Amino acid sequence: MIASGLSRRHFLAALGMLALPLPALAGQPARTLLAAAADTDGPFFSAVDGKPIRLPTRGHGMLPIPGSDELILVARRAGFWLSRINWRSGEEIRRIAPEPGRHFYGHAILSPDGKTLYTTENDIARGQGMVGVYDASTLTRLAEFPSHGIGPHELYWLVPGKTLAVANGGILTLPQSGRDKLNLATMEPSVVILDLPSGRLLERHALPERSYSLRHIARTADGALGIAIQAESPDGRDVMDTPLLAILQGGKLTLAEHLPGWGGYAASVAAAGNVFIATALQGDAVLLWDSRGAFLGEIGMQRPAGIAVDGARIYVSNEMGVIAELDLARRSLSPLVTQAGIKWDNHLAIV
């Protein structure tokens, strides 16, 4: 097990020798974890222990397509490709580039019927966030509407097909400057609620602190939205310690409880029942809160990254090649798979 509490920074290096299969759930088909990653040969996508698909740049958000062996993978921001992949065969079926004057921001979501794909994008000329609308099968672009913010990142259905939440990270990037963040002194992060299919703005929520970039979204069973924070500094210096989770509940966006030592970067967030789980990449810890933002505990893990929840089973990856199972009741992590030299990216998906 990976120890909790003050020993969290002393993750056992010997785990690099471990290579165990992902356990199946009793009476159910075997599960497969999917992730984008990188090794010494560059970025790739793979089912864990599967055949890697080499990518032109780092992948980010993954969107498994129900009833199939396929998924949508979106390039990390500022992204210039989106792919439909057969994860079982290791085949890239189709890859598209964004429309001229646009780039992807790392995430996508499917309509409830699986026919329409929505992506977060940037209108480069205006520096404004957009939601692109595509045919999910052909990846043909159909339309777009504003995200009502800058740097939209993850999307989340509040009412499937009707009400969409978008985390606007507030950070402007442009192709000519790569991943440089161009507006740190004037960031405008927000969480917006949009009506679909019109794209009409229903609600907009922001924090008083404008340097807290809002990125990834999860929802607890009681309906609270948790939004992971990746903090920035107006002068570009490294952020050493900030809150890592905002919670939208009852029409109010507030900060979850924060303790020193977690750094300023929540790589991913997920929910299991009424518990939020976030990975503090710089703080070497997996963090837990209830749906009101009260801190429940932390479990030590070096450079934790992605989280996947499958009912009562929860999996966490890190940048050291480890994938572990999280036991919420015991507040512990049990390593399942380690692939030496692999840097798992911010997200895990389970099929």
CATH code of 69's domain: 2.130.10.10
> What average pLDDT does the structure give for the chain?
87
SS3 content of the chain, % helix, strand, coil (to 5): 5, 50, 45
Q: Is residue 11 predicted with pLDDT exceeding 50? A: no
**pLDDT over threshold 90, residue 94:** yes
Query: Residue 22 falls within a domain, yes or no?
Result: no
- pTM of the model as a whole: 0.89
Q: How many domains does the chain have?
A: 1
Hey, what amino acid is at 290?
D
Spatial neighbors of 26 by CB under 8 A, at least 6 apart, are none
Question: Is 308 exposed, middle or buried (CB count within 10 Å of its CB: 0-12, 13-18, 19+)?
Answer: buried
Can you give the residue range of the structural domain that contains 75?
60-314
- Rounded mean pLDDT, 114-120: 97
* Geometric angle at alpha carbon 350, from 166 and 62, rounded to 5°: 40
User: Does 191 reside within a domain?
Assistant: yes
In a domain, 34, yes or no: no
Cα separation, 94 vs 139, whole angstroms: 8
CB atoms within 10 A of CB 56: 13
3-state secondary structure of 292: coil
Residue 29 lies in a domain: no
Q: How far apart are CA 66 and CA 63, in angstroms?
A: 9
Look at residue 273 and tell me if it is in a domain. Answer: yes
Instruction: Report pLDDT digits (tens) over 22-53.
Output: 555 555 667 888 999 899 999 988 876 667 88
In a domain, 24, yes or no: no
Say if 341 falls within a structural domain: no
Q: Is residue 89 part of a domain?
A: yes
DSSP string for 38-103:
EETTEEEEEETTS--EE-SS-EEEEEEPTTSSEEEEEEPSSB--EEEEETTTTEEEEEEPPPTTEE
